[in-house]
Structure 1
Amino acid sequence: MAGEAARGATAYVTLEPCSHTGQTPPCTQALISAGIARVVAPINDNDDRVSGRGFDQLRAAGIEVSTGLMAQEALLDHAGFFLRNSQERPWVTLKLAMTLDGRIATATGESKWITGAPSRKKVHALRATHDAVMVGAGTARADDPALTVRGFGAHRQPVRVIASRLLDVPLMSQLAQTARDVPVWLCHGPDARPELRTAWDGLGATLLPCQINAGRLDPSSVLQALGAKGITRVFCEGGGQLAASLLSQDLVDELHVFTAGVGLGAEGHPGIGALGVDHLVEAPRFQLKSVSSCGEDIHHVWRRSDQG
């Protein structure tokens, strides 16, 4: 605590201080009680319980409030928080590690490793910046992934999410056997067998019932279930069907694509499943934000045009 050193000081924050009691007391009252003279905050909180009230309380207490500084950067940093407040869903980052011809595995399913070690390290760094890492049931079965952050020392692990309508993921998988060590959440349909629900619950996993659309888990329902549990940013690592379902419903906010200099041909597994696009105007489009080398691979970042 700053104690008396805070009196008369300037506080720099990235978002309007909260003015309501939630899991913690109001930040505005803490700033007022500390004797802060000035608060610099770039943007308003879009939570209806705050939205302008925090700044009003500070000004009423005689504290100078400055806003607008680096507002665009703050909006992007808090994009998941804002989406959860306004649309009840988290920010979705879709990661694709593909060949030059857009394949994520050979015809036999072999996929380790298409991209190199520097790209895989970058993926772990990206996982660390999200609340949750999500894969579909097919990827969970085929790759038996751990979905943890590795190579960066002690770090809070993101929640590991599996989208599995029928809960048909092996109970001896890495995810199942480590569910008590690092949280595992399973988004499933109403037709998942009761004995599998009981088994996963016994392993320490959290079960999130979701709606079905056209015979598959509805991605909007999945994201709303995650948002209701407090998730603001989810890092989706495939596979192709989950990627397609998110893209087809315009639920991907940012794409991180790692492209390796190898081709697998048409018989390989595509990075994105069927989208049902008949005309180019119907295809999902993103704006290129950056391109960089990552070892021998290329890392390019794309973002929705309405996300800056």
Structure 2
Amino acid sequence: MEYLTLDAAMLRALELAARGPAYGPNPQVGCVILAPATSPDPTAPRLILAQGWHRGAGTPHAEADALAYAATAGIDVTGATAVVTLEPCNHTGRTGPCARALADGGVTDVVVSVSDPTAIAGGGADYLRSRGVSVTSGLRQDRGEALLRVWLTAVRRGTPYVTLKTATTLDGYVAAVDGSSRWITGAPAREHAHTVRRRVDAIMVGTGTVLTDDPTLTARDASGEPHAHQPLRVVVGRRAVPPGAKVRSGAEYLHLRTHDVAEVLSELAARDIRHVLLEGGPGLATAFLAAHAVDEVHAYLAPMILGEGRRVVGSLGATTLSDAPRLDTVSVERLGDDMLLVARTRPVTAGTPDPSVLT
């Protein structure tokens, strides 16, 4: 038997949530069900009755997973407290509404980290209260928001979270004068890039990259074999993609014949894409940066100097340093002889979409 305080139970729920896939239309959610309180002290540890997490689209939600475990084990959850990382849903999709399942199961208290901002699934807290269930929100909200940063940004704004990946020399080139670019970075950096591919919903490049490099854009595991999850491969641009291009085989493929960033994001949002990895080329990267449509940059930097060649991005209209966009550095990591710098733009808050992206 294990006993946890409410705070410790939320931390456990967050750990459970992180076990679920980062990709897909649904958020990562964890749930811990605690026995009814036996002490007036709200910080007193309580017995864990059940716990669960969401394993991906089409599988039981975290609350249903925990309730199913309790039912199978013959555990009565009447009067129990459900500690959940995201407000229980109030929507019937592939699975039933979790708010109703908790109330029907006899749970009398629900503690939530982050409120659900979606119009479809939100409202679970209000439904629970209408059934006489006490709901408290905001416990460890900073940790909950951090875990769900990509998903929350996408659903609050209505467009996918965009991560721009670059791999450059020290002087900012992605290819030599003759067009050669393989490989600027070493094997550890390339392996790390595949860990990112395995966590996103789509990988996007321009037609120029397809015509020049003929990439497969698949995600591979540590052994080099295709990973179980293959993101949607997206090619943007008006030029035709050759029938024999590698991007056409091995995983789902989409060609968007446009140069309009807003149109691209709208089309991907309509397909429930929450996170897209933009891998190039320079023209597409420049277009997204100019439209303020990049949320995060993964800049792989190799200890190599070319002096001339193809730049990582084109002109963004900044004629002085004060005009140049600045990002917040999140981390710097050494990968073999290369470095990876991760930086993010200012996060989007609820109800305040970025007009430069959507107009």
| TM-score interval, normalised by the smaller of the two chains | 0.7 to 0.9
Asked which structure has the greater RCO (Cα within 8 Å, sep 6+), the reply is 1
1:123 partner amino acid: A
List per-residue Cα deviations over 1:69-126 (Å, max 9, x = no partner). 3323332433343344333210000011111001111111111111111111110001
Q: Distance in 1 between the 2:255 and 2:146 partners?
A: 28
Residue 305 of structure 1 aligns to a residue in which SS?
coil
Residue 147 of structure 1 aligns to a residue in which SS?
coil
Q: Distance in 2 between the 1:293 and 1:38 partners?
A: 46
Aligned to 1:174: 246
Q: 2:328 aligns with which of 266, 274, 287?
A: 287
Q: 1:262 aligns with which of 294, 304, 321?
A: 304
Residue 290 of structure 1 aligns to a residue in which SS?
strand
Pair 1:235-2:304 in alignment: no
CA RMSD in angstroms comes to 2.1
Pair 1:274-2:315 in alignment: yes
Identity score, percent: 39
TM-score by length of 1: 0.82
**Large movers: runs of 4+ above 4 Å:** none
Q: Distance in 1 between the 2:82 and 2:244 partners?
A: 50
Matched ranges for 1:150-165 at <5 A: 150-152=220-222, 154-165=227-238
List per-residue Cα deviations over 1:263-297 (Å, max 9, x = no partner). 111x2111112222223233221011111111111
Pair 1:186-2:228 in alignment: no
Residue 118 of structure 1 aligns to a residue in which SS?
helix
The answer (yes or no) to whether the contact 1:248–1:284 under 8 Å persists in 2 is no
Aligned to 1:195: none
Give the gaps of 5 or more residues in structure 2: 1-67, 350-359
The answer (yes or no) to whether the contact 1:244–1:272 under 8 Å persists in 2 is yes
Pair 1:223-2:265 in alignment: yes
Compared CA separation, residues 288 and 65, structure 1 to 2 (3 A): same
Deviation of 1:220 after TM superposition, in Å, equals 1.5
Q: Distance in 1 between the 2:314 and 2:163 partners?
A: 17
Q: 1:251 aligns with which of 274, 293, 298?
A: 293
Compared CA separation, residues 44 and 125, structure 1 to 2 (3 A): same
Aligned to 1:301: 342
Aligned to 1:86: 156
Deviation of 1:128 after TM superposition, in Å, equals 1.1
